[in-house]
A and B are shown apart, each in its own frame.
Chain A
């Protein structure tokens, strides 16, 4: 039953991301809700469930972007695993630590996605590259408490 809720949550968050209101986009950037959800699952679920739903979230995101390489699925999976390992090393109960983790993971994911696009020979101005990195990461970080709360509720 809980797993069905997770699946429905992924569908709902993906729908929300696909229909993110233009008025709530800052400098053409929007938060990555599916990434926050996949990270939040690591805190509230066992590792296998979290990893499965992280890869699924990444795959759903990959379906709706034009690139053919499933980079989001791989990134989401790898970062879930990395977070699971990190949780055994340091305490991640403080909200600021979680904010920091979400910021770093979003930054790294965006660096990888940006570099993948640059590797195809496309020219992106450095200003727009930095805008996508920083604003998306900060925006995702700011919205993370809401998604964390939501994940905690459906995990309980």
Chain B
């Protein structure tokens, strides 16, 4: 019983919110509707109080795809609707009348909840208020007032922020459009620059405990380091997004991480056996206990993608990409193998 009540309440709220498509089933004596504005529930009563019995005449019709305009019965008739066209919600002691109207199109759709045509506002939007996320959209709400002949006029407009796209609209919020644009970015991990370099004879990198390891971004490119900028128009939103790496988190494979906020410094022989001035590491144990006797060094790029829209909305999205390489670390056994440079 409780489950049924909850289900019915949920359905009724959803109907009024216009968030679901209702089945146009006739109401039964056991049906009721709860008004969220008053928190009162009403029993729905079928004809004869309904002036025009029809399959969806009792209880509220869903938002999309059926759109209703609410007014008094006399008000609706004054506006040109006939009795046969007027639906009624009858709660026994409480009636609400409405008429089915044109829902509009994908860029301007009637909102049963707001009783107006809703569209995404063109042009520059006001600053986003606190509590509204960057995913939100700014929408206009034009009230319906039938003129002579029943054609809608534009009597008044108010605007509102919404985290979700109102039902029926086929538009993208700037945040959603930005996310779609950014998803097309072919960002990738950095080309790892490291001393020791790959020794052609061994086919991999090799260094020693206590010897400086230099780390840097080799040949930084827009898609590996940034800035990478794209502009596109999606769902009516023109978005410009710029991706830039803000830092690299180097996982050295020995349980330690090195975070570098710059591309690092590429090593050359002139530096000798010194630590990198910007980004480096020294191992204190060999890689002999690692799979294949290699440490896996992973460079995770921290991307910050900033976007702006022509509407004035803006935001940031954080992303990561990564790349890795293998490194063998040995113990220094004798002076014969002591390296004179980090390159081994």
Bind each other: no
Residues of B within 8 A of A (CB): none
Query: Footprint of B on A, CB under 8 Å?
Result: none
